[in-house]
Amino acid sequence: MEPRLSQTTSQKLILAPQLRQFLKLLELPIFELEQKLQQELEQNPVLEEIKPEGETEDASADAETEAESEPEGIDDYEPGGNEDDLSRQFVQEDSKEKQRKRDYQESILTKPPTLAEYLDWQLGLIDLSEDERQAANDIIGNINDDGMLAASIEEIAEETNLPQETVELVLKKIQSLDPPGVGGRHLGEALLIQLKKQNQNTKLAEAIVQNHLPLLERKQFDQLARTLSVPLQKVKEVYQQISRLEPKPGRIFYQEKPNFVIPDATVSLATDQENELVLELNDRFVPTLRINPMYREMLKKKDLDPKTKVFLREKVQSGFDLIRAISQRKSTIRQITEELLKAQPDFFTKGFAYLKPLRLKDIAAKIGVHESTVSRAIQGKYMDTPQGTIPYKSFFSSKLERGDGSVESQKSATERLKALIAAEDPRKPLSDAKLVKLLEQDGVQVARRTVAKYRDILKILPAYLRKK
C-alpha cells in the first residue's frame, strides 16, 4: 500500500439557497406558511406587510413586480458585521404593533387539548415521585391516537432505566384516568378497564372479554353459552353491554386535527354556466410582503456606515429571496390545481366514483417540473370542492383494468365497493367473494384479497362482523 493521487468524476446535486427556500415553503400548508411569514417579518426589519386596506390591484402588481426585480446595491454584497446590534436598531419601530397583533391571534385561538395534554393535566392532580413522573411521561408518549399503549412494559422500563414494577404501577394509575379504557395494551384490556368502572355486575362480561373475545367478535353466542354454562339470552345481554363500550378510547380527541385544515384552493361551480369550474387560491391568509422603500434608499447613500450597509444588503437580499419563493410557490400550486381540474372534471360535478387514474408524473409533465416537486406541493394541502374539503393527494390514484379494456381509478373502485356495502341487507351482508362478482358485473375486475384490502382502507368490517 502506498499513498497516491487519483482523479475521479462524479455528479452531485447541490441545491441553491433560493431553491431550498422555495421547496421548504412549497411543503408548508397555508396555516404553517402564515406562521412562517410572521416569523420572517419579526426577524427581518426591512420586510413589511402590505396592509389589506391598502392592497389595491396596483399594490398587488407592485408585489409581483418586486418578486421579479433585483435589489439595488446588492451586486457587491459580502456578509459580515455585528448583525445582532444592528438588528435591534431596526426592529424597535414596529414591534409594539406586531405584539398587539400576535396577542390578538393567540386570544382567539381555540385549539382543544390533545389526549396527551389531557392525561398530563390529570396526572398533575396525583402525587408522583420523580421516577414515577419519568415513567408516566414515557408511557403517555407511547399512547397512540386511539388511546392504546403502543409499547410494552419491558421497552418502557429499558428506555427509562426504571424497574418494570414501577412502570406497571404507573400504567395502572394512568389507566384509572379519563377517558375510560385509556392506556390499554390491547382491545381486551381497554374493554376490561371500562367494565371495571361500571356500577353493575360485570363478572360475566369480564370473563368473556378476557377469555373468549374472538367468539364474541364472531357472534358465536350458542358456543359461548355452552362453554360458560349460562343461558343464551344472558350471553346476548352481555354482548349488548360490551358493544356499548369504546374500542378506541382516544377517539373523542380525533376532532382536533380537522379544526386546523385551511384549504389552499377553492373550486366551485359557476353560477352562470353549467359544469363550469371556478378556481380561487386562498391566499388571503398569506401576508403580502415587500421591501421597505426607506431601507432601499438607505443602501444608495455613499456615506452609509459600512457595517450598516453590509447588514442591510444581507437583509434586503434575504427579503427578495423570500418574496420570490412565495410567488413561485403560489404559481406552482395554481398550475397543479389547474391541471387537476382538467384531469378530473367529472369528480367536481359527479363525485368520487368518477375519479380517473392519475399519477404524480402526469401532472409534473404538464407543468414542466419533477414529480418530487408535485409531491412536495400537495403534501398536507387541501382543496375545497363541491364534493367537500379533501386532500390534494386524493386526486391521485393507480389504475384498474375494466372488463371492456378501459381503466378506472383505485379510488373510484373503493367508492363503488363502499356503495355496495352501504346498500346490503344487514341480516345477510355481502361476503368478499360476492363483492368481487358484483364489481365484475359493473366492469371492475379485482381479486378477493384486493376487496379485503379496500375494506381495510375504508375501515369496513368483514361480513360476519357486519351481520345484525
Mean pLDDT in residue range 38-53: 84
Mean pLDDT in residue range 44-52: 84
Q: How far is CA 378 from CA 100, 372, 375, 385, 409, in A?
A: 33, 10, 6, 15, 19
Q: Does domain 399-466 have CATH number 1.10.10.60?
A: yes
Q: Is the CB of residue 421 less than 8 Å from the CB of residue 439? A: no
Query: Could you tell me the pLDDT band of residue 464, with boundaries at 50, 70 and 90?
Result: confident
Residue 159 has pLDDT above 70, yes or no: yes
Of 161-165, 258-262, 285-289, where does mean pLDDT reach its minimum? 258-262
Of 290-299, 373-382, 437-446, where does mean pLDDT reach its minimum? 437-446
CB-neighbour burial class of residue 62 (10 A; exposed 0-12, middle 13-18, buried 19+): middle
The alpha carbon of 290 is separated from its chain's Cα centroid by a whole number of angstroms, namely: 31
Q: Is the CB of residue 386 less than 8 Å from the CB of residue 267? A: yes
Model's pTM, two decimal places?
0.52
DSSP helix/strand/coil, 388: strand
Q: What is the CA radius of gyration of the chain?
A: 30
pLDDT tens digits, residue range 198-255? 888 889 999 999 999 888 888 899 999 999 999 999 999 999 889 889 998 998 887 5
pLDDT tens digits, residue range 91-126? 455 455 445 444 434 443 445 678 888 898 898 888
Identify the pLDDT of residue 119: 92
Return all residues near 462 (Cβ < 8 A) that are at least 6 apart: 432, 452, 455
- 271 or 387, which is more confident: 387
- 41 or 106, which is more confident: 41
What CA–CA distance (Å, rounded) separates 326 from 314? 18
List the chain domain ranges: 17-103+284-325, 115-251, 344-395, 399-466
Identify the pLDDT of residue 205: 92
> For cell 424597535, what's the residue?
92
Residue 190 has pLDDT above 90, yes or no: yes
CB atoms < 10 A from the CB of 46, how many?
Answer: 25
Identify the pLDDT of residue 341: 92
Residue 93, amino acid: E
Q: Is the CB of residue 395 less than 8 Å from the CB of residue 338? A: no
Which helix H or strand E contains 48, and what residues bound it? Answer: strand 47-49
Print the SS3 string covering 408-468.
EEHHHHHHHHHHHHHCCECCECCCHHHHHHHHHHCCECCCHHHHHHHHHHHCCCCHHHHCC
Average pLDDT, the chain: 80
DSSP 145-160: TTSBB-S-HHHHHHHH
Residue 330, amino acid: K
Identify the pLDDT of residue 166: 94
Which helix H or strand E contains 166, and what residues bound it? Answer: helix 164-175
Residue 420 has pLDDT above 60, yes or no: yes
Return all residues near 303 (Cβ < 8 A) that are at least 6 apart: none
